[in-house]
Amino acid sequence: MIAVTAHRVLQPAGWVRPIGHVNGVEARGRQIFLGGQIGWNEHAEFESFDLVGQVRQTLRNVVTLLADAGAGPEHITRMTWYLVDKRDYLRQLPAIGAAYCEVIGRQFPPMTAVEVRSLIEDRALVEIEVTAVVGDDA
């Protein structure tokens, strides 16, 4: 399958370019909505109990779900990250960025990160929601 994206990055003149994401995108096509994914494997078992490992597995889960819909990371138009520890996230940002690029590549959609008190799964340190759009020509 050839990846066709109809995304246009929204970068108003004079705005500072964000690092690691974009402010917004415009997209047309088939929409895919992923519920919040956490850092467990396909058997609903955690293999990692640290943030970087859980981010890596969570992103792998995202990629697997996108593939099931005939899409890939290049089709992601929005990500929302829910984190239980903002300071841990900021402290480990370089390693999280490396894990992100390893799994997702150099696709940087609009992202929001929110610190929450806890997640429904007690062992989960991160949960990520994703919206993707596959262009009409794909």
Mean pLDDT for 20-33 is 91
Contact indicator for 27, 137 with CB cutoff of 8 Å: no
The model carries a pTM of 0.90
Q: Residue 4: its pLDDT value, please?
A: 46
Report the distance separating Cα 93 and Cα 100, nearest Å.
Answer: 10
| 85 CB-near residues (< 8 Å, 6+ apart) | 51, 115, 125
Tens of pLDDT, residue by residue over 106-132, are 999 999 999 999 999 999 999 999 999
pLDDT at 1 > cutoff 70? no
